[in-house]
């Protein structure tokens, strides 16, 4: 185990901390020993993933536990249909390893840079009619708790810890391994298609019901959306040609997009006319590939993000209100608003806990003030009973969150039992959990 002391910053660069001590353990035992030593020295403890959260969820002034040595596959159990990996394994490596064994997760988010433990801890999700977040695909967890012991949990072992720790916000302990349910690798056919805002919003329920994975992006200052429908298919693979992939995924979605965002930051008046042109640049295309190559894509332009989970039936009204708010205001927004769905799940602090959900995600280019946009958007989202993504910017506190999570007190009671001294506490958790 290496031990250092240097500053840590998140991907977006809006959270910078200087922990008293930083370690990168090789094993659950080493990690547990580091936790015990920190407790004895009076330091609080936080594990970080790859810092892809925009909130200070992973911030600490005490012991910071880095993920990079706690990686790799521990076990593939084909009979049970599960794969166990060390907690610091990046999703990218998990996906590639699963694919090499002819296996796949059922659903995932937009990118694959995060660690498995970081991704599940804040409820990272993609879009799905029947399949839910990454945390909902877990069958077991191994956790180092505040007393320094290593606790195995699943539906059979320590089931109440398992239920809550799947989206645990880093508040219940440090995860050292995760067991995922996996399935034989399948083909997904993606259909990307521009569509007018009025049509997407009018047909949203139907599009979400008819497709296994439906999402769309609305381009502010325009009536244009880009839709994406992913459905299982018999194959074979028919990926986009290298030239088309480069044009759509690198040139238009990253290189040119970054240049236009930078232009908009310097000259905000250019944003609406540029949006009208750039929102039409992406053309319709259909392709078929293995799941992670269809679900995920590179995101190289740095931004800040807020995302709210709404009751599914409120999504269209909220999006229309967001559009009206932007049109009434002097705001100039160069990033699209992303809309996704998830079925209700049974994880106490999952943003989709107990209700069919639609997600609305607002982004702002890094270096552009996001406060006015996010706070006006947040008023709309909270008026609809929205739940903020735990890893994305928001201003909610425990008083609000207790009202939108029916099992909030169940989570807090478990935390009181597992971590009465708040060894795993930080300022973010004090705000969102209330102590
Ligand atoms: C470009 C980009 C794209 C994104 N796309 C999506 C998306 O499609 N869908 C979505 O829902 N979100 C998305 N996110 C948000 C991101 O998935 C979450 O914020 C996620 O939590 C980040 O994982 P991480 O590994 O970087 O963890 P970090 O951000 O480093 O940490 C997140 C939390 O997990 C805790 N944690 C980390 N490791 C452990 C551990 N071993 N034990 C206990 N707690 C731990 C940390 O303490 C912290 O509370 C995106 C973010 C970015 C920057």
- Containing 429, the helix (H) or strand (E) segment is helix 427-433
Query: Same domain for 135 and 219?
Result: no
Q: What's the confidence (pLDDT) of residue 258?
A: 86
Query: Same domain for 243 and 370?
Result: yes
Query: Same domain for 319 and 176?
Result: no
10 is a domain residue: no
Query: Same domain for 222 and 119?
Result: no
Query: Same domain for 170 and 192?
Result: no
Query: Same domain for 159 and 252?
Result: no
Among 272, 279, 242, residue whose Cα is nearest residue 257? 279
Q: How far apart are CA 110 and CA 301, in angstroms?
A: 14
434 is a domain residue: no
Among 18, 26, 19, residue whose Cα is nearest residue 2? 26
Query: Same domain for 142 and 201?
Result: no
Q: How far apart are CA 418 and CA 146, in angstroms?
A: 7
Cβ of 170 closer than 6 Å to ligand 1, yes or no, is yes
Query: Same domain for 285 and 343?
Result: yes
Domain that holds residue 164: 73-184
Query: Same domain for 316 and 242?
Result: yes
CA–centroid distance, residue 151 to ligand 1 (Å): 22
25 is a domain residue: no
CATH number at residue 248: 3.40.462.10
Q: What's the confidence (pLDDT) of residue 257?
A: 81
172 is a domain residue: yes
Q: How far apart are CA 231 and CA 188, in angstroms?
A: 5
410 is a domain residue: no
Q: Which of 159, 184, 209 is the last residue of a domain?
A: 184
Q: What's the confidence (pLDDT) of residue 2?
A: 60
Query: Under DSSP, is residue 210 helix (H, G, I), strand (E, B) or coil?
Result: helix
Cβ pair 106, 183 in contact under 8 A = yes
111 is a domain residue: yes
Token digits of residue 402? 């207790």
- Distances in Å between the Cα of 93 and the Cα atoms of 71, 85, 320 are 9, 10, 39
- Predicted confidence pLDDT, tens digits, the chain (435 residues): 666 668 999 999 999 999 999 999 999 999 999 999 999 999 999 999 999 999 999 999 999 999 999 999 999 999 999 999 999 999 999 999 999 999 999 999 999 999 999 999 999 999 999 999 999 999 999 999 999 999 999 999 999 999 999 999 999 999 999 999 999 999 999 999 999 999 999 999 999 999 999 999 999 999 999 999 999 999 899 998 887 777 777 777 778 888 888 888 888 999 998 888 888 877 899 999 999 999 998 888 899 999 999 999 999 999 999 999 999 999 999 999 999 999 999 999 999 999 999 999 999 998 899 999 999 999 999 999 999 999 999 999 999 999 999 999 999 999 999 999 999 999 999 999 998
Cβ of 391 closer than 6 Å to ligand 1, yes or no, is yes
Q: How far apart are CA 251 and CA 87, in angstroms?
A: 34
Structure letter (DSSP) for residue 43: -
Query: Same domain for 366 and 252?
Result: yes
Cβ pair 295, 126 in contact under 8 A = yes
270 is a domain residue: yes
Please tell me the pTM assigned to this model. 0.97
Number of domains in the chain: 2
CATH number at residue 135: 3.30.465.10
Q: How far apart are CA 281 and CA 268, in angstroms?
A: 20
Q: Which of 164, 184, 204 is the last residue of a domain?
A: 184
Q: How far apart are CA 55 and CA 15, in angstroms?
A: 7
Among 277, 364, 279, residue whose Cα is nearest residue 326? 364
Cβ of 52 closer than 6 Å to ligand 1, yes or no, is yes
Query: Same domain for 209 and 274?
Result: yes
58 is a domain residue: no
Token digits of residue 86? 């060390």
Question: Which residue out of 11, 31, 124, 424 has the highest number of ligand 1 atoms within 8 Å of its CB and is therefore the one to mutate?
Answer: 124
Q: What's the confidence (pLDDT) of residue 280?
A: 82
Query: Under DSSP, is residue 209 helix (H, G, I), strand (E, B) or coil?
Result: helix
Cβ of 57 closer than 6 Å to ligand 1, yes or no, is yes
Query: Same domain for 168 and 194?
Result: no
Cβ pair 214, 226 in contact under 8 A = no
Strand (E) positions, 106-208?
Answer: 138-144, 150-154, 174-181, 183-184, 187-196
Regarding beta strands 45-47 and 63-65, do their DSSP bridges make them parallel or antiparallel, or are they unpaired? parallel
Among 91, 75, 72, 94, residue whose Cα is nearest residue 26? 72
Q: Kindly give the number of the ligand 1 atom that is closest to the alpha carbon of 172.
A: 43
Cβ of 53 closer than 6 Å to ligand 1, yes or no, is yes
Instruction: Kindly report the three-state secondary structure assignment for every residue of 31-78.
Output: HHHHHHHHHHCCCCEEECCCCCCCCCCCCCCCEEECCCCCCCEEEEEC
């Amino acid at each position: 185990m290496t031990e250092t002391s240097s500053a840590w910053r998140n991907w977006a660069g809006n959270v910078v901390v200087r922990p008293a001590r930083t370690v990168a353990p090789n094993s659950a035992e080493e990690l547990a020993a580091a936790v015990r030593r920190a407790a004895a020295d009076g330091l609080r403890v936080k594990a970080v993933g790859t810092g892809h959260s925009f909130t200070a969820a992973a911030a600490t002034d005490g012991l910071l536990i880095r993920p990079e040595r706690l990686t790799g596959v521990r076990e593939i159990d084909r009979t049970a249909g599960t794969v166990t990996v060390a907690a610091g394994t990046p999703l990218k490596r998990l996906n590639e390893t699963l694919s090499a064994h002819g296996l796949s997760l059922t659903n995932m988010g937009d990118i694959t840079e995060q660690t498995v433990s970081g991704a599940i801890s804040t409820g990272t999700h993609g879009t799905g009619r029947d399949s839910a977040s990454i945390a909902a695909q877990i069958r077991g967890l191994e956790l180092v708790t505040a007393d320094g012991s290593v606790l195995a949990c699943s539906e059979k072992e320590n089931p109440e810890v398992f239920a809550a720790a799947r989206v645990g916000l880093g508040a219940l302990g440090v995860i050292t391994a995760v067991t995922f349910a996996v399935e034989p690798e399948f083909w997904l056919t993606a259909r990307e298609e521009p569509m007018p805002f009025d049509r997407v919003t009018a047909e949203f329920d139907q599009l979400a019901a008819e497709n296994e994975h439906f999402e769309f992006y609305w381009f502010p200052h325009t009536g244009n959306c880009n839709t994406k429908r992913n459905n299982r298919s018999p194959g074979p693979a028919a990926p986009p040609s290298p030239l088309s992939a480069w044009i759509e995924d690198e040139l238009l979605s990253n290189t040119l997009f970054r240049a236009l965002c930078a232009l908009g930051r310097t000259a905000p008046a250019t944003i609406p006319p540029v949006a009208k042109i750039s929102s039409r640049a992406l053309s319709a295309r259909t392709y078929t590939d293995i799941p992670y190559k269809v679900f995920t894509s590179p995101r190289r332009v740095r931004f800040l993000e807020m995302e709210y989970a709404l009751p599914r039936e409120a999504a269209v009204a909220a999006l229309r209100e967001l559009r009206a708010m932007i049109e009434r205001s002097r705001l100039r927004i160069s990033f699209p608003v992303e809309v996704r769905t998830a079925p209700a799940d049974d994880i106490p602090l999952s943003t989709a806990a107990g209700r069919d959900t639609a997600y609305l995600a607002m982004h702002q280019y890094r270096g552009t003030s996001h406060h006015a946009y996010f706070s006006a958007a947040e008023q709309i989202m909270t008026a609809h009973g929205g739940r903020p993504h735990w890893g994305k910017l928001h201003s909610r506190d425990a008083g609000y969150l207790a009202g939108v999570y029916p099992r909030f007190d169940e989570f807090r009671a478990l935390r009181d039992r597992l971590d009465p001294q708040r060894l795993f506490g930080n300022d973010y958790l004090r705000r969102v959990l209330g102590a």
